[in-house]
Structure 1
Amino acid sequence: MQSPSATVHARLHNRRFAVANNTKGLSGTGTIFHYQVEDGVISSTYQGGRIRLGTQVGRVTGTDTIELLYQCVTLEGELLAGWSRGTVGVDRDGRTTLSFDWGWLSGATGGGESRYVEITA
């Protein structure tokens, strides 16, 4: 029997994602996320667009669900941090998708929904 994190590992580990929709968020066109997954623990780095450097840490919470904490420094020098809960899916082209509900913990207020899609060669 596969562990709950096996599916997420297969879909996220060492893969890159671009923003598909994030109207209220800071990441956008040009922001690229690179994920790693090991034993149900998730880490990532991201940058591009308005983000100079960002990191995430999180965990697998179910067969297709994850939760993350994130932090970043913007091109303007802002330091921001927040949380997100997401679902890992697959689009009709076979690319991995990520859909999140998220909110800010420090440096900004509010929250929203965002969607990311795997970058394939």
Structure 2
Amino acid sequence: MQTAFSPIRERLHDRRFAVANNSQGLSGSGTVFHYLVEDDAISSTYQGGRIRTGLQVGRVTGPDTIELLFQCLTMEGQLLAGWSRGTVGVDHAGRTTLAFVWGWLSGATGGGESSYVEVVA
């Protein structure tokens, strides 16, 4: 049975993503995100680059939109937390893309925009 959340589940569940653009954030080259989706609940782990370990939890908010809370421990020992609102899309090669607006809640100030692309084996 298809639900309103099925397209996002199909695009995110058990898939990995790499940074395409994140000039104001910590994740970058070498950071990989692994997403899981159950109904409208989203979780992910991430690590690599400047991120020692990170976790995200969130929810599907529309046919192609999500919102997340994230926390991470950096290689320098900083503990940071923030929020993001994103759009799930597809690029010209058929890979899933994510585009976020985000901000820090703890450990840093500011925010920005970032984008990610599915890592295809």
TM-score, scaled to structure 1: 0.98
Task: Describe the SS at the equivalent of 1:4.
Answer: coil
Query: Which deviations, in whole Å up to 9, do the C-alpha atoms of 1:70-108 show, x marking residues without a partner?
Result: 000000000000000000000000000000000000000
CA separation in 2, counterparts of 1:103 and 1:39? 26
Counterpart residue identity of residue 100, structure 2: F
Provide the identity percentage: 75
Q: Which amino acid aligns with 2:50?
A: R
| Inter-partner Cα distance in structure 2 for 1:6 and 1:116 | 20
Q: Which blocks of at least 5 consecutive residues in structure 2 are unaligned?
A: none
Instruction: Provide the C-alpha distance between the structure 2 equivalents of 1:4 and 1:45, rounded to a whole number of angstroms.
Output: 24
Residue equivalent to 1:16 = 16
User: What does residue 61 of structure 1 align with?
Assistant: 61
Matched, 1:26 2:40: no
1:25-69 CA distances to partner (integer Å, 9 max, x unpaired)?
010000000000001100000000000000000000000000000
For residues 83 and 27 of structure 1, what CA distance do their matches in structure 2 show? 14
1:72 match: 72
What's the CA shift for 1:2?
A: 3.1
Give me the CA root mean square deviation.
Answer: 0.8
Alignment TM-score, normalising by the size of structure 2: 0.98
- Tell me what 2:2 maps to: 2
Residue correspondences, number: 121
Q: Which residue of 2 aligns with 1:118?
A: 118
**In structure 1, what is the equivalent of residue 109 of structure 2?**
109
Instruction: Give 1:101's aligned amino acid.
Output: V
Superposed structure 1 runs of 4+ greater than 6 Å apart: none
- Partner residue in 1 for 2:51: 51
Partner of 2:98: 98
List runs of 5+ in structure 1 lacking aligned partners: none
